[in-house]
Amino acid sequence: MKKKVSETGIKKFMRDIPLPFCPGCGDVTVMSSFLRAVQELGYDSLSKFVFCSGIGCAAWIPSPHFIADTIHTTHGRSIPVATGVKLIRPDLNVVVFGGDGDLTGIGLSHLIHAARRNVDITVVMVNNMIYGMTGGQVAPTTPLKAKTTTTPYGNYERPIDATRLVVAAGASYAARWTTAHAEQLKEAMKKGLGIRGFAFVEAVSHCPTAFGRRVGLKTIVNILDWLKENSVPIENTAKMAEKDLEGKIVIGEFVHRRSPTFTESVYAIIEEAKKSVKTS
Amino acid sequence: MTTKKIKSDTEFWQGNEACAEGAITAGCRFFAGYPITPSSEIAEHLALRLPQVGGIAIQMEDELASLGAVIGASCAGAKSMTATSGPGFSLMQENIGYAFMTEAPCVIVDVQRAGPATGQATKCGQGDVMQARWGTHGDYAAIVLSPNSVQEMFDMTIRAFNLAEKFRTPVVLLADEVIAHMREKIVLPPLDKVEIVNRRKPKPNEKAFFGLEDVPSMPSFGEGFNITVTGSTHDEYGIRATADPVIHRKLVERLVGKILRNVDEIVDYESYNVDKCNVGIISYGCTSRSVYETTELAEKEGIDAGLIRLKTIWPFPEKIVKKMTKNAKVVFVPEMNLRQIFYEVQRVVGDTVPIVPVNKIGGGEMITPEELLSEIEKETR
């Protein structure tokens, strides 16, 4: 039987600074899933990690709470910063934490291009379906018809499916779970950290403060139940009609494949260029 | 294109090529950029040359990503650079402020073209001078260098890296299309004669990398220091303090102060006959090349002319400008924009002497020596 990791086990990875999250925030679930993943992978410290995050609640998961090198960048630019870090230090695990606004709103093009380049980083996207930090404005991920502070009559835009997007762009690994699936989320993070290439783990998350209470899901239990009820395992989607999938959260592993990574390609060019100088 | 090796020799290079080679000489090992005229040759040359010396040159999806990657690479320990022109420089402004706030050394080359907006992409302009000073939001102190020859594209790129590393701050090399695209003779110094400055590394037990000293030491990621880098207001240890008034004041006043307290070291200029001249001319970049000839023509006509050529634009070389205006009866400020440095000269000297702007924009047409001379004749007659 697998050894159960106690909460105190992951505290060694954390600074003794109070967490900034609202009561009941899903970020804490994601944080704990991630640190348990790291623990179970056998790391005693985060000294081999660099964490990059942009702006928004999820960006505060690693920065400054993880005892590690962390960089809290401008809004949306965590992935380019991570790309620079990884190229200079390919030996380090570079992990991006970001919200849905940061990664699929202002920073979307970087997400697509990092997947296309197969940059060897792990991106954890906390999708709470809302701009939480700024007070609950509509996000590119907000479900249709949901009331937010900037869609008082209900959201009239279709939400983006970030996981399918990175699969199409070329990611080596992509999975989506919700904060009602903390164990599966942790396993997906372990896989993502273990593979070579671009790994994307989407955690559909509960935000009682800025989302749940405005859409009639008043308690955390309400939201977690809603997440569970609305989730459809990816294996079951093949036999489902498109209209039955509307508004559903497809969960599971979307892709797991091996292709040349950005670091491998860039360093191969360096070797080639060095040879060309020697022979000329 | 054949590969070139730097040797202590004379070359006939393009300005952008000299900039790229200067960067390599300075120790730059990471470049990220986005194609834009008239700076693209820097990216092209570095794509060829950087891998040969074990460095990395990548093309990103836009200028925001380019400077983002440069900042990441810098924090990971590499001397890093990007190159762009006006529109891209506009897009980089937020990350320039971020590099300033997080004290991430980096070099941004802006090869100016005629703006605003897309303007005239292939034509020279000098309209980014104030943007280089004030472009990012919030309080900021800029270090901006202005080359006026292919030789200086090489030398000043090295200096830009040295200043960035020494002061842990972004440094802008504010070139222009004329200087970047022309070819002329360049003398390459022996490598052991080139001064190279590297960021100060911390001692093993150091913990404060954001403020116990004017310019703190800088560890790299992966060295075990557990650095917390943030663009939010932070204390000496990098811990966010989003509401504390004292921490904010202390941080931002130090970031601005570390540059302003070292103005004499940063400021550089070329001057001629400043002490005695009747007619002063203050210029920079490609325009200054016309001014040399104007000065000669003026002297032939018996006008006692003197000049200041700004090699550092920001911080502004106030002292030498004040010195010139002690004697000069009139000061001319020619520039390829509709008055930018003119206002700065006005700020420094007040109304002690008349300041005359001479401006020309469009089509990349430079201010000719004759045009400037006729303006001088008009005012002095």
Distance between A276 CA and the closest CA of chain B, angstroms: 8
**Domain range enclosing B350:** 270-380
Identify the CATH number of the domain in which residue B365 sits. Answer: 3.40.50.920
**Tokens found for residue B52:** 């040969």
Q: What CATH number should be reported for the domain holding residue B165? A: 3.40.50.970
Instruction: For residues B33 and B180, state if they share a domain.
Output: yes
Quick one: pLDDT at residue A8?
61
**Of B144, B177, B193, which residue is a domain's last?**
B193
pLDDT category, A279, cuts 50, 70, 90? Answer: confident
Q: Does residue B346 lie in a domain region?
A: yes
Position A2 confidence tier, pLDDT thresholds 50, 70, 90? very low
Amino acid in position A127 = N
Per DSSP bridges, beta strands B170-176 and B106-114 are: parallel
Which of B177, B193, B209 terminates a domain? The answer is B193
A233-272 pLDDT, tens per residue? 999 999 999 999 999 999 999 999 999 999 999 999 999 9
How much is the pLDDT for B287?
Answer: 98
- pLDDT single digits (tens) A14-65: 999 999 999 999 999 999 999 999 999 999 999 999 999 999 999 999 999 9
Q: Alpha helices of B27-149 — where are they, by DSSP H?
A: 40-49, 63-75, 86-102, 129-134
Give B-chain residues touching A87 at CB under 8 angstroms: 30, 56, 58, 69, 73
- At residue A77, does pLDDT exceed 80? yes
Interface probe with A: pick from B34, B52, B59, B210, most Cβ of A within 10 Å: B52
Token pair, residue B239, equals 């811990």
B230 contact residues in A (CB cutoff 8 A): 63-64, 70-72
Q: Which pLDDT value is given to residue B1?
A: 43
Task: Tell whether B261 is covered by a domain.
Answer: no
Specify the pLDDT at position A280: 64
Q: What is the pLDDT at residue A239?
A: 93
3-state secondary structure of B298: helix
Mutate to test the interface with B, among A16, A53, A86, A89 (most CBs of B within 10 A): A89
CA distance B58 to B69: 9
Same domain for B181 and B47 = yes
State the Cα–Cα distance between residues B22 and B30, nearest whole angstrom.
Answer: 13
* Residue B233 is assigned to a structural domain of this protein: no
Say yes or no: B153 and B291 in one domain: no
Q: Which of A57, A67, A71, A102 to mutate to test the interface with B (most CBs of B within 10 A)?
A: A71
Domains delineated in chain A: 21-279 (3.40.50.970)
Q: What is the ipTM of this complex?
A: 0.96
Contact B75 A74 (CB under 8 A): no
Q: Is the pTM of this model over 0.80?
A: yes
Tell me, yes or no, whether B124 lies in a domain: yes
* Residue B365: how many other CB atoms lie within 10 Å: 13
Q: Report chain A's mean pLDDT, rounded to a whole number.
A: 95
The reply to whether B182 and B281 lie within a common domain is no
- Chain A CB contacts of B2 under 8 Å are 280
Contact A142, A157 (CB under 8 A): yes
At A51, phi and psi to the nearest 5? -110, 130
Q: What residues in chain B have per-residue pLDDT under 70?
A: 1-8
Nearest-neighbour CA in chain A from B69: distance (Å) = 4
- The pLDDT of residue B380: 86
Three-state SS for A233?
strand
Number of domains in chain B: 2
Choose among A138, A136, A139: nearest CA to A125. Answer: A139
Q: Which two tokens stand for residue B190?
A: 């022996």
Per-residue confidence (pLDDT) for residue B8, from 0 to 100: 56
B189-248 pLDDT, tens per residue? Answer: 999 999 999 999 999 999 999 999 999 999 999 999 999 999 999 999 999 999 999 999
Q: Is position B209 within any domain?
A: no
3-state secondary structure of B209: coil
Per cent of chain A over pLDDT 90 is 95
pLDDT of residue B233: 98
Could you report the per-residue pLDDT of A177-225, keeping only the tens digit for each? 999 999 999 999 999 999 999 999 999 999 999 999 899 998 999 999 9
> Of B193, B212, B236, which marks where a domain is finished?
B193
For the record, the structure tokens of B360 come out as: 């020309």
